[in-house]
Chains A and B, each alone.
Chain A
C-alpha cells in the first residue's frame, strides 16, 4: 500500500520545504484513483495528463520561489463547475459530451492559485439527490462501506477526500449537498454564506440556494481553500462585495465563553439515537472548552422541507429549460418537428429524479398554483430566515450546533424508490440554505456499523470565521477527523 495522502496544510508545508513535489503528489493521487476508483466511482472524468502538466508547472513555479498556499495541490472538482476544454457533465446524459468553452470563477481562482485539477467528481444528476444514486454514471460508493451511499449530491467529492484520492475537493450545496456527504464520509464540508463564493460557471440547480464550498480533511484545509474561493466576482450579480477576512487567523481563537445555540427542534424523534449520542459527545466537549450551551428554539424548522421542495424545483424547472438539444448536449435522433425535438431530447437526456423535480417545479409555478405554492413558500422562507436571525440576536450566539443528518450513511437502494423519505434526509441542512447562512459539517463519531457521524455548526451571515474557529477548536481537542476508512483495498 502506498503512503497516505496528506492534508492540504501538510502537503503545502511539504511542497514549500521541497520534501515532495507536486508531480509526486499528483502521481500518488492518480495511482490511488486508478486502484480505488473502480470500486468507489468517485470520478466521472480523470484528467491525468492535464493534472501532471499543471503539477510540473507548479513545481517549476515553486523552484523559482513563486507560488502560494495552493501551488501544486491536487484537487478534485465536482463535475458541475465548467472547466474550459475539460468535459463537464453534471452527471447527466444530457451533458455527457459537453466541453465548456469557458471556465467557472471557482476553478479559475483555484488554478490561478496554482492548484492541480485531478478531474471531475461524480454527483447526483444536476445535484438533485441525497445519495448520489441519481448519477447517469452510476452511484458513488462510501469508502467506509462500499455497500452504502456516501451521501449526495457531492458524493464523489466526499468519497474522493475520505478515500484519499485527492488532497481536498470542491463541492456545492443547495440543500445540504456538501455537508450531508461530508457527515456520511467522515470529512469536513463547509457551505459558505450565499454569495460569498461566485456561482459563475457553476451549473445551476436552484439559483437562490446554490453555493460552492470546500470539502476537506479538517477545518484548517477548509480555511485555506475558502480563502482562495471567496471574494467578489463582477460576473455574479449575487456575489457579496465585502472582502473576506483572514480565515486562517480565525482558526487560532479560543471558544471560551462563546455562546453556542442548541435548537430543540433538531433533537426530536427523527434523530437516530446513535447520532444523538455522538452529538452529545461534541456538546460535552464544547462545555469542556469553556463554551456556554444555550437551548434555543427555531420554530419554523419543520416547514423547511416543503418550503425547499417548492422553491428549489421551481427554480430548477426554469434553470434546466436551456437543455433543449439545440446549442449543446444531448439531442434525440431524427426529431420530426420542434416539439418532438424538445420532448424526446429532454425525456432521454434527464434521469428520473431530475424529471420529477422539473415536473414538480413546473407545477408549483403554473397558473393558478403560484400563489398557493411558490409565493407561500417564499413567505415561509422569510420566516425561517428570521428564526435564525432572532435566535442569534436574542441569545447573543456565536454559532448554532445541530446534527448534520438524522442518520448515518444508509445502504444503496434503500431510499432510491421513495423520493419523500429521500427528501426528509435533508431536514437539518436545508434551513441553512433557505436562510443563506454559512455552515460546516465535521465528524464527531461513528455508529454501530462503523459509519461516520457529523455535526453541523451554523454561523451568522458572512461569519464563516466563527464556524471555522468553533470547528477548529473541536478538531484540536478531538481526533475523529483523523480517522480514515481502514477496509479499502
Chain B
C-alpha cells in the first residue's frame, strides 16, 4: 500500500459568489467591475459616519433562487449580523454578513466526477454578505492604496459539508456549481476576475479514522485548475508532515500558482475574534412562502431536471442529453430547433446539433452564441430531411450554405435546385439505365457480393446529382436485383 493510499483526503469549500445585481447590496452604487478607483462609492458603502444600510431586493431574490436550486431550506426568518475585524479594505470595521440565522441551510448538489459515480455533496449553508474593497500593493513604494469600488458588492457565500474526497471531485463540484449559478443568472462565474471565489479547507486522515484531521484553509485560488493543483500540493504536504512525525497546524495558507505551492499567510497571524452580533441597523428578514414559491416558479429549469426530461421527452441517450444540457444556452438552442422541426425528430436534431453544429463551431473556434446558423433554421433543415424534401447528404450541403450566411434552408434548396427527386418513374428510368450499363456487376451481386448495392446507389445518386430519394432508390434497386 502506498503512503498516499493509506490516507484519506477531506475537503470542504467556501465559495463566494458575487451576485449579478445592478446595484450594490446596501446602497445604490453600481455593481460594476473595472472602473477607476473609488469612483463607484458613496458615503454608505465607504462607511462614513452616520450612514445606514438598506438592502437590495434583488439580493434576497437571488439568494432564495440559488438556495432552491441547491435543494436547500429557505429560512423564512433570517437575520444579518456584524462580523467585526479591522482591515483597510473593510471601511466600517465590520462586515455585514449572516451568522446564526442564514437564509439557506441543508442543501446539496449532485456531482458526476469523471470516471466516478454520482455523488451527493452537502451544502451546509448559504448566506448573504458584503464584499470588501481592494488593497493595492503592486508598484507602490512604501504604502498601500485602498480602492473601495468593490465594497458593498453582494456576495452569497456557499459553504459545503466536508464531503469532497479528492481534487477531481472538487473540480467536478466547482464546475457543476459554477454552471448552476450561471444557469440561474445570479453570477457570471468568472474566477479570474474574482466574481466566483473559492477557499478550500483541506485535511487528511488515516483511512478508517472517523475524526477529521487538522485543516488548512487555502486562499487565492483563481481557477478550478488552481484549486485542484493546490489541493494536490496541500495533501502531499500534510501527509509528508504526518509521516515525518510532525503536526499539521490549523492556519490560512495562500496558493502561489507561480511557485506551485501553498505558503503561510503572514500579517494575519493574530487570533481572530469576530465578535458577531445581530446587525442593529437591519431588522430581521421575514420571507413569505408566497414569495419563495413565486421565485421557484420563475426559476429556470435546473440542469439536472433538464437532463432527465431530455432523455424522457426526446428519447435521447444520456450522453447526448448531457452534452445538450451542459449549459442553458445549448439546451435552449436545441429546444428551439426541435420546435421548428417535430418532437419525433428530436433525436435527429440532437445529432445535427452535437455533430454538425458543434463540430463546425469547434473547428472555427467559435461559441454557440456566435453561430451563423440559428436554431429555427437548423430545425427546419431537419424537418426537410424527414419530409423527404432533401436527403441527409444534400442537407449537409445546405448546412454549408447556411453557415456561409445564406439563411433559410428552404430557400437555399429551392434556389440551388436541390429538391430531392422522389418520383418513382424518374428514378426507375435512371435505375434501369445504370443496371443496363453494368451487367457484370449484377451477376457478381446475385452471386453473393451484396455490398455492390452501395455501388449502384452511388452511381444513381451521381447521375441524379444526389437529389434522388435514397429510400426510393434503395427500394427499386432491391426489387430489381433480388426480384
Q: What is the interface of chain A, defined by CB distance below 8 A to chain B?
A: 80-82, 88, 90, 95, 98, 100-102, 104, 199-204, 206-208, 234-238, 314-315, 317-318, 320-324, 326-328, 338, 342, 362, 365-367, 370, 374
Instruction: Indicate if the CB atoms of B273 and A338 lie closer than 8 Å.
Output: no
CB-defined contacts of B92 to chain A, threshold 8 Å: 321-322
CB contact list, B3-50 vs A, under 8 A: 43, 46-50
CB-defined contacts of A374 to chain B, threshold 8 Å: 277
Instruction: Indicate if the CB atoms of A315 and B51 lie closer than 8 Å.
Output: no
* Closest residue of B by beta carbon distance from A365: B275
Q: Does B281 contact A (CB under 8 A)?
A: yes
Q: Does B242 contact A (CB under 8 A)?
A: no
Per-position 1/0 for B94-111, Cβ under 8 A of A: 100000000000000000
Instruction: Indicate if the CB atoms of B91 and A327 lie closer than 8 Å.
Output: yes
Q: What is the interface of chain B, defined by CB distance below 8 A to chain A?
A: 43, 46-55, 82, 84, 86, 88, 91-94, 146, 273, 275-277, 280-283
Out of A80, A321, A338, A367, name the residue touching B93 (CB < 8 Å).
Answer: A321
Instruction: Indicate if the CB atoms of A201 and B86 lie closer than 8 Å.
Output: no
Out of B50, B93, B277, name the residue touching A314 (CB < 8 Å).
Answer: B277
Instruction: Indicate if the CB atoms of B275 and A237 lie closer than 8 Å.
Output: no
* Closest residue of A by beta carbon distance from B272: A367
A208-B280, A321-B92, A322-B93 given; A90·B51 CB < 8 A = no
Chain A interface SS verdict (over half): loop
Out of B50, B53, B275, name the residue touching A202 (CB < 8 Å).
Answer: B50
CB-defined contacts of B276 to chain A, threshold 8 Å: 365, 370
Q: Can you add 7 more A-B contacts, CB < 8 Å, to A237-B281, A328-B49?
A: A101-B48, A202-B50, A237-B54, A314-B277, A315-B280, A317-B84, A321-B84
Instruction: Indicate if the CB atoms of B53 and A203 lie closer than 8 Å.
Output: no
Rounded to whole angstroms, the CA-CA distance of A366 and B272 in the bound complex is: 10
Within the complex, the shortest CB–CB distance from B467 to chain A, in Å, comes to 70
CB-defined contacts of B52 to chain A, threshold 8 Å: 199-200, 235-238
Instruction: Indicate if the CB atoms of A324 and B86 lie closer than 8 Å.
Output: yes
CB-defined contacts of A201 to chain B, threshold 8 Å: 50-51
Out of A81, A200, A327, A365, name the residue touching B46 (CB < 8 Å).
Answer: A327
CB-defined contacts of B47 to chain A, threshold 8 Å: 322, 327
Instruction: Indicate if the CB atoms of A203 and B50 lie closer than 8 Å.
Output: yes
A235-B54, A237-B52, A365-B84 given; A318·B283 CB < 8 A = no
Within the complex, the shortest CB–CB distance from A193 to chain B, in Å, comes to 15
CB-defined contacts of A206 to chain B, threshold 8 Å: 280
Within the complex, the shortest CB–CB distance from B90 to chain A, in Å, comes to 9
Within the complex, the shortest CB–CB distance from B197 to chain A, in Å, comes to 23
Within the complex, the shortest CB–CB distance from B282 to chain A, in Å, comes to 5
Rounded to whole angstroms, the CA-CA distance of A269 and B46 in the bound complex is: 49
Out of B43, B51, B86, B275, name the residue touching A342 (CB < 8 Å).
Answer: B86
Within the complex, the shortest CB–CB distance from A480 to chain B, in Å, comes to 35
Within the complex, the shortest CB–CB distance from A55 to chain B, in Å, comes to 26
Instruction: Indicate if the CB atoms of A95 and B49 lie closer than 8 Å.
Output: yes
* Closest residue of A by beta carbon distance from B55: A237
* Closest residue of B by beta carbon distance from A314: B277
Out of A203, A204, A326, A362, name the residue touching B275 (CB < 8 Å).
Answer: A362
Out of B49, B54, B282, name the residue touching A322 (CB < 8 Å).
Answer: B49
CB-defined contacts of A236 to chain B, threshold 8 Å: 52, 54
Q: Which of B48, B49, B273, B283 has the most CB of A within 10 A?
A: B49
Out of B43, B46, B277, B283, name the residue touching A237 (CB < 8 Å).
Answer: B283
Rounded to whole angstroms, the CA-CA distance of A320 and B50 in the bound complex is: 10
Rounded to whole angstroms, the CA-CA distance of A126 and B48 in the bound complex is: 14
- A and B contact pairs by CB, cutoff 8 A, 18 listed: A82-B48, A200-B51, A204-B50, A206-B280, A207-B281, A208-B280, A236-B54, A237-B283, A238-B52, A314-B277, A318-B275, A321-B93, A322-B49, A324-B88, A327-B46, A365-B277, A366-B275, A370-B277
Within the complex, the shortest CB–CB distance from A215 to chain B, in Å, comes to 19
A237-B54, A318-B93, A321-B93 given; A98·B275 CB < 8 A = no
Out of A100, A237, A370, name the residue touching B48 (CB < 8 Å).
Answer: A100
Instruction: Indicate if the CB atoms of B273 and A367 lie closer than 8 Å.
Output: yes
CB-defined contacts of B51 to chain A, threshold 8 Å: 102, 200-201
Within the complex, the shortest CB–CB distance from B441 to chain A, in Å, comes to 88
Instruction: Indicate if the CB atoms of B146 and A326 lie closer than 8 Å.
Output: yes
Instruction: Indicate if the CB atoms of B280 and A207 lie closer than 8 Å.
Output: yes
Q: Which of B273, B275, B276 has the most CB of A within 10 A?
A: B275
* Closest residue of A by beta carbon distance from B84: A318
Rounded to whole angstroms, the CA-CA distance of A328 and B82 in the bound complex is: 22
Which 8 pairs show the lowest CB-CB distances between chains A and B?
A321-B93, A207-B280, A365-B275, A208-B280, A203-B50, A203-B49, A201-B50, A322-B47
* Closest residue of B by beta carbon distance from A126: B49
Instruction: Indicate if the CB atoms of A82 and B49 lie closer than 8 Å.
Output: yes
Q: Which of A200, A207, A318, A326 has the most CB of B within 10 A?
A: A318
A324-B93, A365-B277 given; A200·B50 CB < 8 A = yes
Rounded to whole angstroms, the CA-CA distance of A90 and B277 in the bound complex is: 25
Instruction: Indicate if the CB atoms of A328 and B54 lie closer than 8 Å.
Output: no
Rounded to whole angstroms, the CA-CA distance of A49 and B52 in the bound complex is: 30
CB-defined contacts of B93 to chain A, threshold 8 Å: 318, 320-322, 324
Out of A90, A326, A362, A370, name the residue touching B49 (CB < 8 Å).
Answer: A90
Instruction: Indicate if the CB atoms of B281 and A102 lie closer than 8 Å.
Output: no
Rounded to whole angstroms, the CA-CA distance of A180 and B280 in the bound complex is: 24
Q: Which of B51, B88, B282 has the most CB of A within 10 A?
A: B51
Within the complex, the shortest CB–CB distance from A417 to chain B, in Å, comes to 29
Rounded to whole angstroms, the CA-CA distance of A326 and B280 in the bound complex is: 24
Instruction: Indicate if the CB atoms of B53 and A237 lie closer than 8 Å.
Output: yes
* Closest residue of A by beta carbon distance from B93: A321
* Closest residue of B by beta carbon distance from A199: B52
